[in-house]
Structure 1
Amino acid sequence: MAEELEYKSTIKSRPFLFRETKKAAELINKGFKEFEIKEKAKKDNIFQVNTETRRSEIASIVLQRLKAIDDFLIEKIVNGDIETSKQIVIYSIMKTDRLFFEFMYEVFREKILLRDLTLQDKDFNLYFNRKKEQSERVASWDDYTFYKLKQVYIRILFEAGFIKGPKKDREIVKPILEEEVVQHLKEIGDIKYLNALMGEI
């Protein structure tokens, strides 16, 4: 559960990686083990990046995210429609990054609930300031870290189709989840994550 994780800022070098996550999910679906996928990333360059270091890094990131979700959802990433696949990748990021999950729950969800469907720079600033007050760890980060976090959050939400227009007043697009996915998340007890995605109480 994201609530049990420490706050970290590593997401600033970990974008959405949708295509790469889907590729790794396909291999898991075919029965490949974690070490085999890492090997394929290094040797066969399945993620199509230049350096061996970055190949290994991407493999580690996407496999960590996929390990946080179950087989049903991995299957949905592979065979679901593109909106469903992207929603589940967002869910996998929430499951592995507490700060991003709390942003989705406390800011994105609240905005939908209040029908205030623009995501502005001040929303990020207020959120990060609140977290600085709540956590010594977050308070110890420099301004550049928060600048990068904001950039990455915007990019992730934009690429996932959760916001339109990555500039100043970004329009929030309320995700519509497949009923099967909704029911599954309820059954496994991840209602907070479901609410964060759908903007519900």
Structure 2
Amino acid sequence: MADELEYKSTIKSRPFLFRETKKAAELINKGLKEFEIKNKAKNDNIFQVNTETRRSEIASTVMRRLKALDDFLIDKLANGEIDTSKQIVVYAIMKTDRLFFEFMYEVFREKILLRDFTLQDKDFNIFFDRKKEQSERVASWDDYTFYKLKQVYIRILFEAGFIKNQKNDREITRPIVEEDVAYHLKEIGDTKYLNALTGEM
């Protein structure tokens, strides 16, 4: 799915949103529809943000990510162990953001494969430079966009527990995916997303 998407940089204002995504998954499990969850976000402020614009933006982002999940993964996100829930949110971001998926697959996965467990500033710079060469769209973005993307990627990885710190040489913690989740991702044809998480071939 991700490799069919256009490159975009909207993630820079829509980071991990773990608590919000888990909350929405719990509501889906209770039988609420997308429009009902969006209404609750707008009228009841279930995501606890100040402006109506931000409420709508978060609700749209969260629901878009949740649409990339099937019932099994939504249930795991809502009711599973916290590490598993966080991994599923990262998976949902990868499914809906091509550039982030490619970063996870081409940089994060490669780091684990090569047993190089530090994520450095140069790793981001090399990745973004390569994407600029491959895509006119990415090449058209300004330096500030790449600065913000790097910040958000680091924040997502840190909040997901995939790196231990956010500054300088960031130590990678290889995610351990639950056996039934790993099996499910393989069964639905998403082995490459699983590999992006775990650093496998």
TM-score (norm 1): 1.00
Please name the residue that 1:71 is paired with. Answer: 71
Please name the residue that 1:55 is paired with. Answer: 55
Give the Cα separation in 2 of the matches to 1:53 and 1:139: 29
Q: Does 1:147 align with 2:152?
A: no
The Cα shift of 1:165 comes to 0.8
What SS is found at the alignment partner of 1:65?
helix
The Cα shift of 1:162 comes to 0.3
What SS is found at the alignment partner of 1:164?
coil
The Cα shift of 1:166 comes to 0.3
The Cα shift of 1:15 comes to 0.8
Please name the residue that 2:106 is paired with. Answer: 106
Deviations 1:40-84 (A, max 9, x none): 001100000011111111000000000011010000001100000
Within-5 A mapping of 1:1-201 = 1-201=1-201
Runs of 4+ aligned residues of structure 1 deviating over 4 Å after TM superposition are: none
The Cα shift of 1:118 comes to 0.1
Q: Letter of the aligned partner of 2:143 in structure 1?
A: D
CA RMSD of aligned residues (A): 0.3
What SS is found at the alignment partner of 2:182?
helix
Give the Cα separation in 1 of the matches to 2:12 and 2:125: 16
The Cα shift of 1:169 comes to 0.4
Give the Cα separation in 1 of the matches to 2:51 and 2:142: 28
What SS is found at the alignment partner of 2:150?
helix
Give the Cα separation in 1 of the matches to 2:133 and 2:15: 26
Deviations 1:118-159 (A, max 9, x none): 000000000000000000000000000000000000000000
What SS is found at the alignment partner of 2:8?
coil
What SS is found at the alignment partner of 1:189?
coil
Which 5+ residue runs of structure 1 have no aligned equivalent?
none
Give the Cα separation in 1 of the matches to 2:102 and 2:5: 11
Give the Cα separation in 2 of the matches to 1:163 and 1:20: 21
What is the percent sequence identity of the aligned residues?
85
Give the Cα separation in 2 of the matches to 1:177 and 1:194: 8
The number of equivalent residue pairs is 201
What SS is found at the alignment partner of 2:38?
helix
Give the Cα separation in 2 of the matches to 1:122 and 1:187: 36
TM-score (norm 2): 1.00
Give the Cα separation in 2 of the matches to 1:152 and 1:177: 23
The Cα shift of 1:115 comes to 0.2
Give the Cα separation in 2 of the matches to 1:190 and 1:53: 34
What SS is found at the alignment partner of 2:152?
helix
Which 5+ residue runs of structure 2 have no aligned equivalent?
none
The Cα shift of 1:12 comes to 0.4
The Cα shift of 1:96 comes to 0.1
